[in-house]
Amino acid sequence: MSKKNVAVIPGDGIGPEVIGATLKVLEKVAPNTFEFHEVAMGGNAIDKYGEPLPAESLKICQNAEATLLGAVGGPKWDNQPPEKRPERGLLGVRSGLEVFANIRPAKIFAPLASACPLRKDIAEKGIDFIIVRELTGGIYFGKHEAFKTPEGERAARDVMEYSEHEIRRIAHVAFKMAMGRRKIVTSIDKANILTSSRLWREIVEEVAKEYPEVKLNHLYVDNASMQLIRVPSEFDVIVTENTFGDILSDEASQIIGSIGMIPSASLGEGNRGLYEPIHGSAPDIAGQNKANPIGTILCGAMMLRYSFNMNAEADKIENAVDEVLKAGLRTPDIYTEGTKLITGSQMRDEIISRL
């Protein structure tokens, strides 16, 4: 059987450390299954090729079934002109892969419950939901305009626009995801005010008819931001448009604690996906063996689940992470008194030994 083709972008700073750990985990959980193609992108690509995303790099990602990305950027490239900045490579790869659904899980690992800033009785009920955010439409991609009113006053407008197919395809992603979970979808909008939200609600309800086992709830975004803090345990899959999702997913990442622990996936048509931790290249700790590889290792698990349908192997990785945390082992970013401090590579090895 031919191996599964995965593009790998280690990137800059701690990127190569956390990606290196993830490739070892994947090789252990599914030996001889993947063919990894390493690709230059970000600051290292600027140094080598004079541009953040060489055409050849993007081509390799487009030909792959999945792309794993560490992180890019760092002070060395901060003074580059905008088109030569590492982040430009990031946007280029996201748009080049045509990924329209951003998936961010918000799950609290029981041994890290003390990192949750919410009241103990709320956190103890468990937090395990997923935000499915529309990534390529809405106000960020609508018409942006600065103009003068007839009275000569400065004014500006940004247009929020969604078409039926954009809403329909993201709704399907959410409902399919809910089918493999607790079967609850919460669609978040502002349908009491926005016409685009009323269309959003109408289409989501149409799509829901194809998934009769899934319970659909609607919430206005202002109320949703409160309920995420008040009763986070009640959420399973949240689906929402680009801007609302941007804000709510940052709120969710704070609810569950450390930045080094959180993976994300961006999905397009079919099984193609881009998997990256939510953290950056952390230049302050790069090369010191302090980086927590868990966020990226969990990206590996998401890749197995969403691009390759290898749910048993994904479960194994997530359980191994859980066990390491239960054993009290901690990289510096999640260390608390009474736990055991270990390095990034020790964390990698401890996870691998539990697979």
- Name the strands in the sheet holding 66-71, side by side, starting at the edge strand that comes first in the sequence: 34-38, 4-11, 66-71, 273-277, 263-267, 101-107, 128-134, 237-240, 184-189, 215-220
Residue 74 within binding range of ligand NAD, rule CB under 6 A:
yes
For ligand NAD, the binding residues in 249-308 under the rule CB under 6 A are 259-260, 276, 279-285, 291-292, 295
Distance in angstroms (rounded) separating the CA atoms of residues 225 and 81: 37
Stretch that binds ligand NAD, among 33-41, 71-79, 149-157, 185-193 (CB under 6 A): 71-79
Distance in angstroms (rounded) separating the CA atoms of residues 57 and 37: 10
* Residues 300/303/304/308 CA torsion (nearest 10 deg): -150
> Would you tell me how many other CB atoms lie within 10 Å of the CB of residue 142?
16
206: which 2 tokens? 């149409």
Size of the residue set binding ligand NAD (CB under 6 A): 22
Question: Hey, which bits of 59-205 come out as E strands?
Answer: 66-71, 101-107, 128-134, 144-148, 154-158, 184-189
Stretch that binds ligand NAD, among 45-53, 68-76, 98-106, 213-221 (CB under 6 A): 68-76
DSSP-derived pairing of the beta strands 184-189 and 215-220: parallel
Among 7, 29, 53, 90, binds ligand NAD (CB under 6 A): 90
161: which 2 tokens? 């626009």
Nearer to ligand NAD, 104 or 279 (CB): 279
Least distance to ligand NAD from the beta carbon of 15, Å?
A: 7
Q: Is the dihedral of CA 280, 286, 291, 297 positive or negative?
A: positive
Among 46, 53, 64, 72, binds ligand NAD (CB under 6 A): 72
For ligand NAD, the binding residues in 315-334 under the rule CB under 6 A are 333
Among 10, 16, 20, 73, binds ligand NAD (CB under 6 A): 73
Least distance to ligand NAD from the beta carbon of 113, Å?
A: 19
66: which 2 tokens? 């999945």
Active-site annotation, residues: 140, 190, 222, 246, 250
- Write the single-letter amino acid at 86: P
Stretch that binds ligand NAD, among 33-41, 69-77, 108-116, 197-205 (CB under 6 A): 69-77
Residue 58 within binding range of ligand NAD, rule CB under 6 A:
no
Residue 20 within binding range of ligand NAD, rule CB under 6 A:
no
Binding site for ligand NAD (CB under 6 A): 14, 18, 71-74, 87, 90, 259-260, 276, 279-285, 291-292, 295, 333
